[in-house]
Amino acid sequence: MELKKEHNYFHQLSKLRRKPLVIAGPCSAETREQVLETARQLKEMQVDIFRAGVWKPRSKPGSFEGVGTEGMKWLQEVRQQYGLPVATEVARPHHVEIALKHNIDVLWIGARTTVNPFDVQELAEALRGTQVPVMVKNPVNPDLQLWAGAIERLWAVGVQDVAAIHRGFSTYEPAVYRNLPLWQIPIQLRGLYPSLPVLVDPSHIGGKPDLVLPLSQKGLDLDFEGVMIETHPNPAEALSDAAQQITPAALGEILAHLQVRSVPDAAFLTRTEELRQKIDLADREILEALARRMRLIQKIGQDKKENNIAILQPDRWKVIFETRKAWAREVQVNPEFAAELYELIHLESIRIQTEIIGGSVSE
């Protein structure tokens, strides 16, 4: 199930105001003064939606876990004083109940909740029959089906106004990013649901202020609907995620530098279609070449079977791996991409030979 683009709250809001859609505010609502001061400054920048978490799921107990229901009153004041729609995260059905009681305009489901279908289903049931817009962050682990499933659970109970937020994926390895972007996953999500609004959360992906601009621009370059950026009057004193928040002034600088790509005209679309047809032809040629290669692999597998030869030949694989990377450089193809491609081809070659010989192999 996918609803029409023009019926979606997030598309309508960006169309009425401008693109990109900008959602900003502190990671956590800490005090009434902090919330209202942030909102005052963001209102001057024409931010579309003010965000603040009041329930904060933390990795360890004892850290700041939000002010709870008291923060709802501050969000109500933001709406009343500055006319900004307000958004907060919900993780339990009673959070939904409290948020709706306080007329919160937009809800979002966090990455730690999206990862659990039981939790998402409970939230969906709590939202059944409501008209509140809901944003769904990707799960902490790179699982497209979990993300898609959470969105579909909301649609299934009649929640029409749904958007996705790309906030990156956890990694144990040292990395430039706090959470790996893995852009192919939100791109695949858009492929499943072309009309689904997708926003990028550069604060959680980057984990530091200097990455907010390039990550935001990357999202816009991929035609995402907008950005969600954590903004705090004094980030150094923030009670949660201090390292990744920026000041409202810094947000203004970032928004001023963001570039929205043009809508393609008829001439561009014509040129693109011609190039796509050539790409289709090239892809067909690639697949035909792969088919020829696999037929040769079958012959080698049969010969190995008849002569009782082991499937895996490490010396031969080493030659292939090195020469194909060198050939890639010669034709100006990324050699690392070629290496990854031939890893897959190698695994498929082993699978074919294993079936012919009738045994099993482990590398």
pLDDT digits (tens, 9 = 90+) for 108-146: 999 999 999 999 999 999 999 999 999 999 999 999 999
20, 14 in Cβ contact below 8 A?
A: yes
Q: Tell me the residue type at 217.
A: Q
User: In this predicted model, which residue has the larger pLDDT, 254 or 362?
Assistant: 254
Please say if the pLDDT value at position 362 is more than 50. no
C-alpha to C-alpha distance for 151 and 124, rounded to whole angstroms: 10
How many residues belong to the chain? 363
Neighbours of 350 (CB within 10 A): 18
pTM for this structure?
0.78
pLDDT of res. 360: 45
Tokens 């002010």 identify what position? 67
26, 67 in Cβ contact below 8 A?
A: no
pLDDT of res. 17: 55
Chain-wide mean pLDDT for the chain? 91
pLDDT digits (tens, 9 = 90+) for 63-112: 777 899 999 999 999 999 999 999 999 999 999 999 999 999 999 999 99
214 prior amide bond cis, ω within 30: no
Domain 5-257 has CATH 3.20.20.70: yes
pLDDT digits (tens, 9 = 90+) for 261-301: 776 778 888 888 899 999 999 999 999 999 999 999 999 99
C-alpha to C-alpha distance for 104 and 88, rounded to whole angstroms: 8
pLDDT of res. 361: 42
C-alpha to C-alpha distance for 183 and 222, rounded to whole angstroms: 9
Domain covering 266-357: architecture: Up-down Bundle (1.20)
20 prior amide bond cis, ω within 30: yes
Phi, psi of 9 (to 5 degrees): -55, -45
**In degrees, to the nearest 5, what angle opens at C-alpha 171 toward C-alphas 60 and 220?**
110
Give the percent of the chain with pLDDT over 70: 94
Tokens 């579309």 identify what position? 48
Tokens 């904060």 identify what position? 56
Q: Tell me the residue type at 343.
A: E
Please say if the pLDDT value at position 6 is more than 80. no
Q: Where are the domains of the chain?
A: 5-257, 266-357
